């Protein structure tokens, strides 16, 4: 039985020929994401904006519409209700109430009373605005520090051009993924932030595979023009990149369909991030090496096979 090949081994797609088109597409997506972030903003979850969270277990499958009508009539502002894994497990989120902690406790008591005796309160949490603000700040710094450490790692392992190109591609992925959440209005919470960081890790893994091949071919093909060498490197790793992305997407789609509402935002971020990360590894990171004027720095005495482009 022959192994599955989605991409032929002898594929020769001239990616570098279309690099300006890729630059324009990426620039438009990044600018649109940034613009919508500052105009519309993210739909922050209770982790970041503060509020009241209640997890309940109902006697039998929960009627979400009835719960939403009952709690919506209490005058407590925005109420978010969703299944939390099982049909009888429900997560309720309310916006933070005006006033101090006592006002939050009063709202929580009102909700508990409205739910009735046939409902078991599994947990209840109050998240203050100060804590939410601190989590926003910590989340921002976690992304910045991650990008910085990745750049340092790539700089040590390769050359500075590779480091700058990889971080530019990662920043591209992060901004566009955030833009995706702005457009869709899906709730952005700590789990979603973790997904964004996971996307960055996945993307850099794909990028490093291509960069390794580029470094190998820089030694092997001494006389080949850099754009042609980059095309050859991308094409030679294209089958591996697409197969890895496809198998990852299959698992993520299964989680999205069967995993329930609790992890839906997380899986949505990963699905979109894998797609955009694969695109950036092929169409953004490697072509940027031309802009950054990548050059060979191989001693003439080093052994290697010379070949013409």
pLDDT at 6: 63
Residues lower than pLDDT 70 in the chain: 1-9, 85, 99, 128-133, 260-262, 296-309
**CATH annotation of 51-127:** 3.30.70.3400
pLDDT at 21: 92
Summarize pLDDT for 215-274 with one digit per residue, the tens: 888 888 877 888 888 888 888 888 888 888 888 899 889 988 887 666 777 888 889 989
Query: Is 121 in contact with 77 (CB distance < 8 Å)?
Result: no
pLDDT at 109: 82
Q: With the C-alpha atoms ordered 298, 300, 305, 308, is the resulting torsion angle positive or negative?
A: positive
Which superfamily, per CATH, for 15-43+132-291? Multidrug efflux transporter AcrB transmembrane domain (1.20.1640.10)
How far is 271 from 108, CA to CA, in rounded Å? 35
pTM (2 d.p.): 0.76
Q: Within the chain, which residue ranges are assigned CATH 1.20.1640.10?
A: 15-43+132-291
Q: Within the chain, which residue ranges are assigned CATH 3.30.70.3400?
A: 51-127
Q: Phi/psi at 157 (nearest 5 deg)?
A: -80, -35
Query: Is 206 in contact with 278 (CB distance < 8 Å)?
Result: yes
User: Which phi-psi region, left, alpha or beta, contains residue 81 (left: φ > 0; alpha: ψ -120 to 50)?
Assistant: beta
With a CB cutoff of 8 Å and minimum separation 6, the contacts of 87 are 61, 62
Cα separation of the two ends of the chain: 35
Summarize pLDDT for 144-169 with one digit per residue, the tens: 888 788 778 888 887 888 888 888 88
């Amino acid at each position: 039985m022959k192994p599955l090949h989605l991409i032929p081994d002898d594929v020769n797609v001239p990616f570098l020929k279309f690099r300006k088109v890729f630059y324009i597409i990426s620039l438009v997506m990044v600018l649109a994401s940034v613009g919508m972030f500052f105009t519309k903003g993210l739909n922050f979850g209770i982790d970041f904006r503060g509020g009241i969270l209640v997890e309940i277990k109902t006697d039998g499958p929960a009627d979400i519409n009835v719960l939403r009508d009952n709690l919506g009539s209490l005058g407590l502002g925005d109420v978010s209700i969703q299944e939390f894994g099982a049909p009888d497990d429900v997560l309720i989120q309310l916006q933070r109430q005006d006033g101090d902690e006592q006002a939050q406790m009063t709202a929580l008591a009102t909700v508990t009373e409205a739910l009735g005796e046939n409902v078991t309160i599994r947990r209840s949490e109050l998240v203050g605005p100060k804590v939410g603000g601190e989590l926003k700040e910590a989340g921002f710094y976690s992304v910045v520090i991650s990008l910085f450490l990745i750049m340092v790692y790539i700089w040590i392992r390769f050359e500075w051009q590779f480091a700058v190109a990889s971080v530019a591609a990662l920043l591209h992925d992060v901004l566009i993924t955030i833009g995706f959440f702005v457009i869709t209005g899906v709730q952005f919470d700590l789990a979603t932030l973790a997904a964004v960081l996971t996307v960055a890790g996945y993307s850099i893994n794909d990028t490093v595979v291509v960069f390794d091949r580029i470094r190998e071919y820089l030694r092997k093909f001494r006389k080949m023009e850099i754009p042609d060498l980059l095309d050859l490197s991308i094409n030679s790793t294209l089958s591996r990149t697409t197969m890895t992305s496809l198998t990852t997407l299959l698992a993520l789609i299964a989680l999205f369909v069967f995993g329930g509402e609790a992890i839906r935002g997380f899986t949505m971020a990963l699905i979109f991030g894998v797609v955009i990360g694969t695109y950036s590894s092929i169409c953004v990171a490697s072509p940027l090496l031309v802009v950054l004027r990548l050059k060979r720095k191989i001693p003439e005495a080093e052994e290697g096979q010379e070949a013409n482009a």
